[in-house]
Structure 1
Amino acid sequence: MARQRPTDGPSTPATVALDRAGIGYTRHPYEHAASAQRYGLEAAAALGVDPAHVFKTLLVDTGTGLGVGVVPVDGQLDLKAMASALGVKAVTMADPAAAERSTGYVVGGISPLGQKRALPTVLDDTAYTLERVYVSGGRRGFDVGLSPVDLARLTRAVRAPIGRRVS
């Protein structure tokens, strides 16, 4: 894919990071409903994309710091698998306020890209079966599409099976 500098949607720390790295990506703004409870599924529906291609960014607390798990929006984060991927005994979901402080984003718009502090990141291995994945662009109502390899490279993500399908 030719490197492009998309102009649709807002400029965020995530898009700035992508532009600086010279990574080709697409911008996907959509109308966010304030009443939405499941932001990732809302994004998939608004973009007309299979939910297995849209990934959510979840922060975990390792007891000594935070980590980032990136999994499909139609599944859940397997906390035991996440702990194993990070090389720690156990993890819990991070406090939302701590996640916002650490990343510089608000819950529902946390991007794995352009966070205030680089955190250990794990990308679910299902992403690598796809040509393109969609992640938050740093705001509710805004996703970016890019290669999972580029996502992993920019976030220095480890590849591991951390997602669990929900029936």
Structure 2
Amino acid sequence: MLFRSLLPSPIGPLTLVASDNGLVAILWPDDAPGRVRLADVTPRDDHPVLAAAAEQLTEYFAGTRTGFDLPLAPRGTPFQRDVWLALADIPFAETRSYAQIAHAIGRPTATRAVGAANGRNPLSIVAPCHRVVGSNGALTGFAGGLAAKRFLLDHERHTSGAW
């Protein structure tokens, strides 16, 4: 069974989704239907995983948290989960290219597949897909929109003092 709660944020309301095993998804206000496939999600603000995720995300947006310590339970293929785990290794306020992520997971020729998996990352912010940019440093597609991606990157640079 899946549970959800809504978290107000500086980039719009985020829908947090969890199972009893961990955080399953963080969804954007205008998330494309089907980007993260979830069924039978019940509202429940008092779920412990949702409460912990809300607290840690609130701290992140306040500039007092630079990493997350949450049980995660994303749903995806083994390749997608490898990509999503690699995202968590990108240091706060830094970026990596799709090619660098492909190398990090031992699949150096899978740059496009990494891009596709990154686009289906259900754990935005916690598995920081916003830190992945084009090989030339340009901002590329983002489920929350490029304005949200820019906000998150700027927020992290400001929080870390890397301006």
Alignment TM-score > 0.5, same fold = no
TM-score, normalised by the number of residues in structure 1? 0.30
Relative to total residues, which structure has the larger helix share, 1 or 2?
A: 2
TM-score, with normalisation over the residues of structure 2? 0.31
Whose RCO is larger (CA < 8 A, sep 6+)?
A: 1
